[in-house]
Amino acid sequence: MRVTTEAYPYGAGATFIGAGFLDPEKMAFTALEPRDVYILATGERPQTAARLQELRESDPSAMVIVDFLRTEDLDDLGFLTRALLFDDTAVASDAMPLVLPNGYENSDGLWPLPTGTTTHPRTAGTFSRIFRWYVRELGILDVAEAVRRCTLIPAEVLKDVSPAMKRKGRIQVGADADLVIFDANKISDNATYADPIQISSGIEHVLVNGAFVIKNGELIEGSLPGKPVRGEVSA
C-alpha cells in the first residue's frame, strides 16, 4: 500500500465544539485541556470542564480552534517542522467551510466576505504562510522546494486516482495553465485565528485554466474558469 504524508503549517486544528473528542471526560485521557479550545465567534477560552460542557450543550455546532501544538514552544515547533519536512510531505490546507454571520445563508459568490465570518486561518493563509515563515523567517526551505511541496507533490499523490492531476503542479507543454505569480520577498499570510478571512499579500496574479482570476493583486469578480478534478474508480 502506498503511504503518503501531508501537513499544514499550524499548530491548531478546527472543528465544532460538539466533536466527540472534546467531551471533557474524554479530554481527561489526552494532553488537551478546556483552555486549549478557542470559540471563534466569541473569542472565549473555557477555563473549566464545566464551562466547556455548558458551551457544548448550548451550541454544539459552534466552530472552535483547538491548540494541539503551541508553535512558540520549541519542542512543539520542532514536532510540526519534522512533519512538514518529512520526505515528500505535501503542504495541505485542509480548508474549513466558511461560517457566515447571522443574516447570510451561504458564501457562494459572496465578496467581500462579511465581517464576522469564521473559519480556520489555513483556509486563506496556508501556502503564503509556508513562504513567509519556513522560507523567509526560519530559512529551512528554499523557494523552489516550497513550491514543489505546495504544487507538484500533491499532484503526484493524486495522479493515480485522478489522471487530470498529471497536468497539475508543473509548468510545461501540455500542463494546465494554472499559475500563481508572487513576490518571494513579500508573500505573507495575514489570516489569524481572530480574523481568519484576511487575504494574503504579495500575490500579483493568479491564472486558472489560462484565465486571470487575480490580476495586479485584484480579484476579478465573476471570473470562474476552474473545472472540477474528479477521481476515477478502477474496475
CA-to-CA separations, 193 to 121, 148, 170, 207, 230, in angstroms, rounded: 6, 27, 32, 28, 32
- Cα torsion for 57, 104, 215, 162, to the nearest 10°? 60
The one-letter amino acid code at 155 reads A
Given pLDDT bands bounded at 50, 70 and 90, which one contains residue 196? Answer: very high
Which residues are paired to 6 by β-bridges?
90
Half-sphere exposure of 31 (CA within 13 A, CB side): 5
Q: Within 13 Å of residue 44, how many CA atoms lie on the same side as its CB?
A: 14
Encode pLDDT of 80-119 as tens digits: 999 999 999 999 998 888 888 887 877 887 888 998 898 9
Residue 182, helix vs strand vs coil: strand
pLDDT digits (tens, 9 = 90+) for 158-180: 999 999 999 999 999 999 999 99
Peptide bond into 9 cis (omega under 30): no
